[in-house]
Amino acid sequence: MGIFRHADYVELTIHFRCNLKCEHCMIEDTMDRLEPASDEKLFELIEYNLQHRQWKGLILTGSEVTLRSDLARLATVARDNGFEHVRIQTHGMRLADPQYCQQLVSAGVDEFFVSVTAADEQTHDAITAVPGSFRKTMRGLENLDQLDGVSILTNTVMTQRCYQQLPELVDLLRHLRRLVQMDFWNYWPMSETDDKQLIVSHLELLPYLRTAIHRAQDYGRAVEVKNFPECLLGADHLALDNTQPKLFIDPTFWPEFHRNGFHQCKFRDQCASTNCLGLNSAYIQEFGWHESHLRPYDTDPREVGRASKNMHSASPHLSTTPQTNSQSSQTS
C-alpha cells in the first residue's frame, strides 16, 4: 500500500490541456469539453480548508498543470493558507528545466506525481506520441532528485504496450533517492469496449506486476496498485488500494467514467472484499470472467489480512516469474 493517506488530500482539476497524446489517456475524448475549476473555486476550497482543516494536502491536476503559467503562484497561495503539502500531477517534461523545478519547489510544491509510461525511450515516446518526451521526463526526475524537501511518486498505466517492462522500469528508477512511491494503474478504456486493444489479461499481467511490486519494495519504495482483482494478488494484496483523495472535477466526467462498469464479478455476492473493483465491461468482453481463477474472500482482507500473507485466495498455479510471451490517474 501507499504511504500517503488519501483522506488527507483533496484534488482539484485546474487545467484541461496537454502537450502529449498518450494512447491510454482517460479524458482524451472529453478534454475539450471538460471545464477546469476556476481560480475562484480554488480559493474557496483553500479558504474552506483554512477554517475547517479537513485536508493536509492539495493536489493540482487536470491534464498537464505545468502548462499553467501561474502554477507556482497557486501553490504559494495554498501553502500560505494552511495546506502542509501541494502535489502536482504531471508528465514531467517541463521539469527538465532545473530552474522551473526550483521555482515550483520554492513556491511550495513538495510532492510530484510523475507519469512514466515505459522503461525505454522508444516505447515511452510511442505511447505519448511525442518524440523526446522520455528523455525530458527522465531529466525532470533527475532534477527533482537534487532538491531538498521533495517527494517523488511515479505512476505507470499498465497496457499491452508496456506491461512486460514493469520490472525493468522499477530498476531504471532505482537510483532516485527521493522516489518514495510507485503506482501501477491497470488500464481501463472509459468505455464498454476496448477499442484500442490496450487491456492486458490479468493472468498475463500478474507475474510482471508481482515482480515489479517485489523489486520496488526491495528498493525501499511504497507501492500502490489500482484496478486489479485483489484475490489474484495473493500475498501481495496489500499493495492494492483503490481509494482516492476527494476529487473536484467537472460533473460531466462521471457519466463517462461509469461506462467502465466496474465491480462486476461472478463472486460479487459472496466476496467480503471492500477494496476490489472486480472486472469491468470491456475486460469481460475481451477475456471473460475468470471463474476458475478468482476466489471470494470470506472476510474483508483489509481488516484481517494485514497480519498474515497466507491468503486463502492466493493463486499458486499462476507463475510469479515473468514469461517471454505476453486504474488521479491515466490522464498524463
Q: Mean pLDDT of all residues in the chain?
A: 92
Is 197 within the bounds of a domain?
yes
Is 53 within the bounds of a domain?
yes
pLDDT number for residue 304: 58
pLDDT number for residue 28: 78
SS3 call for 26: coil
SS3 call for 75: helix
The 10 Å Cβ neighbour count of residue 296 is 16
pLDDT number for residue 326: 32
List the one residue out of 240, 241, 231 whose CA is nearest residue 294.
231
CA distance 330 to 103: 26
Decide if pLDDT at 309 tops 90.
no
Is 309 within the bounds of a domain?
yes
Is 13 within the bounds of a domain?
yes
Is 39 within the bounds of a domain?
yes
List the one residue out of 229, 248, 241 whose CA is nearest residue 318.
229
pLDDT number for residue 235: 95
Strands (E), 177-248: 179-186, 222-226, 246-248
pLDDT number for residue 33: 85
Label residue 328 by pLDDT band (50, 70, 90): very low
Which helix (DSSP H) or strand (DSSP E) does residue 234 occupy? none
Burial class of residue 270 (count of CB atoms within 10 Å of its CB; 0-12, 13-18, 19+): exposed
- Domain limits for position 72: 6-331
Decide if pLDDT at 308 tops 70.
no
Which long-range contacts link 117-120 to residues 24+ away (Cβ below 8 Å)? 117/22, 117/24, 117/156, 117/157, 117/162, 118/156, 118/161, 118/162, 118/165, 118/169, 119/162, 119/165, 119/166, 119/168, 119/169, 119/171, 119/172, 120/165, 120/168
List the one residue out of 219, 223, 248 whose CA is nearest residue 237.
223
Is 327 within the bounds of a domain?
yes
Give the pLDDT confidence of 169-206 residue by residue, as tens digits.
999 999 999 999 999 999 999 999 999 999 999 999 99
Give the pLDDT confidence of 266-283 residue by residue, as tens digits.
999 999 999 999 999 999
CB 247 within 8 A of CB 28: no
Residue count of the chain: 332
Is 1 within the bounds of a domain?
no
Count of structural domains, the chain? 1
pLDDT number for residue 332: 52
Q: Give the relative orientation of helices 39-52 and 71-80 as an angle to the nearest 10 degrees.
A: 20
Instruction: Provide mean pLDDT across the span 248-252.
Output: 94
The 10 Å Cβ neighbour count of residue 268 is 13
Decide if pLDDT at 256 tops 80.
yes
pLDDT number for residue 26: 80
List the one residue out of 94, 246, 259 whose CA is nearest residue 188.
259
Label residue 331 by pLDDT band (50, 70, 90): low
Decide if pLDDT at 297 tops 80.
yes
Is 212 within the bounds of a domain?
yes
CA quadruple 179, 330, 100, 56: dihedral positive or negative? negative
Instruction: Provide mean pLDDT across the span 124-141.
Output: 97
Which CATH number fits the domain that encloses residue 18?
3.20.20.70
Decide if pLDDT at 315 tops 50.
no
pLDDT number for residue 314: 39
- HSE toward the beta carbon, residue 221, CA cutoff 13 A: 29
DSSP bridge partners of 182: 154, 223
pLDDT number for residue 323: 38
Decide if pLDDT at 106 tops 50.
yes
- Cα–Cα distances in angstroms (integers) from residue 64 to residues 101, 166, 271, in the given order: 15, 24, 38
